[in-house]
Amino acid sequence: MNSKLKETILNPILKGNPITVLVLGICSSLAVTVELKGALVMALSVTIVTGLSSLICSLIRNTIPNRVRIIIQLVVVALMVILVDQFLKAFEATYSIDKQLSVYIGLIITNCIVMGRIEAFALGNKPIPSLLDGLASGVGYGLILIIVAFFRELFGSGTLFGFPVLSAIGYTNNGLVILPPMALILLGCIIWAHRSFDKDLQEK
Amino acid sequence: MNTNSNTYTVIYTTLVCVLVAAVLAFVSQTLGPKQAANEKAETISQILTAAQFGEKEHWKEIGNAETIKFFEENLAGEPVITSTSQLKALNYKIKDGSEDLELPVYTFKNGTIVLPVYGAGLWGPVWGYIALNSDCRTIAGAYFDHESETPGLGGKIKDDPSFRAQFAGKVIDFEDVKPFNIVKGGAPEGKQNAIDAITGATMTSKGLDAAINTWLKAYDVELAQFFAAISEETEENVTIEEETSDEQ
């Protein structure tokens, strides 16, 4: 049981990482990784949404009519996303980040990771493992987001979390790094590194 | 129980929707005032930044309540002037049904006047605030924001302090074809109503230029009258003061 739980938590972060292995959620990871702060808030939001919607869907999994299960899942996910958005807007500290992330918080609804985990895991498992699986998927997604954002903020704006690092020693900002194509190139590099590190991921 | 029957499906989906709607309505009601306060403080901090009372980060640091308090203490009334005819004369499209368009002008106790402007950038709306000195011609400062301009290019209207800094000290010329110019390739030397556009962000610069000029023109007549009213008031004050000093 213990090793099974461990597997549930570690799999979405490493061997089954939503971005580098399943290649899901690419769109939002291009859009919100310009700055670390935004990426961190996005990572937390996705983690909360995947975790709680997996939990709720798992709790009601035996009552959901099979023909409308996707719609019910969507309603649950939409509820969680709107709640997260409302709370981000309500607090002074997160208001400006929510403004900066604008539509991408709302677009978590369409993030394939959320629906994918509910459909593949939560509907067939008990609530607690489902919650952990959802949270771990969000962490796996957020981890990649933060790695990409680290490089993009460092080389694009010369700062980390808004504090000058490279810009303090006279670095000229690289405009390409700020634009979405660079996120795609960085993601490619991360996938490459991940696959060469983990031989199981390579197709024969 | 047969979870696949039509009756069950209809009742189940209806219940879920009603439940979710109730939760959302409750949360929206509870958090509504806080969100409104955040929005208000955001607008106010942009106005204050334009009016050179302090940088944007400063207002974020001191918090919503203090920002709003400072704004209200320093505001010398909030005259709203209506000017639809003026806009129609400029062929500015006005939404159907609005007879009079309200143009707010924020006046501060130190004489600074802040005008909101808005228009279209490359990817979405751009807006901002232009602060004028009490002569209604010299620009004291400006602040701009945008919804979705390209970061690092058009986004510089907000993020690059050196772009905003160009506005300070410039003089609007209503006699010119355009009262204010954002010039691609650099403003001509010595031209008092022109600044440099942003390299690589031609469309955003053009959009901002159009936004500023549309609204400056719309404000023109009202500002003249408004300024006249202010100067009359101050002159009256001065004469009264002189009289009282004579008596002493």
Digit-coded pLDDT (tens) for B60-98: 778 888 888 888 888 887 666 666 665 565 555 555 455
Answer yes or no: do A175 and B60 touch at CB < 8 A. no
Answer yes or no: do A86 and B28 touch at CB < 8 A. yes
Number of domains in chain B: 1
Answer yes or no: do A96 and B60 touch at CB < 8 A. yes
* Residue B106 within any structural domain of the chain: yes
Closest CB to A89: pick one of B3, B38, B63: B38
- Look up residue B215 and give its two tokens: 């609204």
Average pLDDT value over all residues in chain B:
80
pLDDT score of B220 more than 80 = no
Q: In which band, very low, low, confident or very high, does the pLDDT at A2 lie, cut at 50, 70 and 90?
A: confident
Q: In which band, very low, low, confident or very high, does the pLDDT at A77 lie, cut at 50, 70 and 90?
A: very high
* Residue B32 within any structural domain of the chain: no
ipTM for the predicted complex comes to 0.81
* Residue B62 within any structural domain of the chain: no
* Residue B55 within any structural domain of the chain: no
Hey, what's the torsion of the CAs at B228, B233, B238, B244, to 10 degrees? Answer: 150
Quote the pLDDT of residue A27.
Answer: 84
Q: In which band, very low, low, confident or very high, does the pLDDT at B231 lie, cut at 50, 70 and 90?
A: low
* Domain range enclosing B191: 80-241
Q: In which band, very low, low, confident or very high, does the pLDDT at B8 lie, cut at 50, 70 and 90?
A: very high
A-B interface: how many C-beta pairs under 8 angstroms?
A: 70
**β pairing state of A163-164 and B125-132:** unpaired
Most confident of A6-20, A138-152, B138-152: A138-152
Quote the pLDDT of residue A54.
Answer: 94
Q: What is the mean pLDDT of residues A154-179?
A: 84
* Residue B63 within any structural domain of the chain: no
Least confidently predicted of A39-53, B19-33, B115-129: B115-129
Closest CA to A142 of A47, A78, A51, A4: A47
Closest Cα in chain B to A175: B152
Q: Which residues of A touch B200 (CB under 8 A)?
A: 175
For chain A positions 125-184, those within 8 Å of chain B (CB to CB) are: 156, 173, 175, 178-179
* Residue B237 within any structural domain of the chain: yes
Give how far Cα B20 sits from Cα of A38, A78, B25, B248, Å: 28, 9, 9, 75
* Residue B40 within any structural domain of the chain: no
* Residue B10 within any structural domain of the chain: no
Q: Give the pLDDT confidence of A23-69 residue by residue, as tens digits.
A: 888 888 888 888 898 899 999 999 999 999 999 999 999 899 988 98
Answer yes or no: do A92 and B63 touch at CB < 8 A. yes
pTM: 0.79
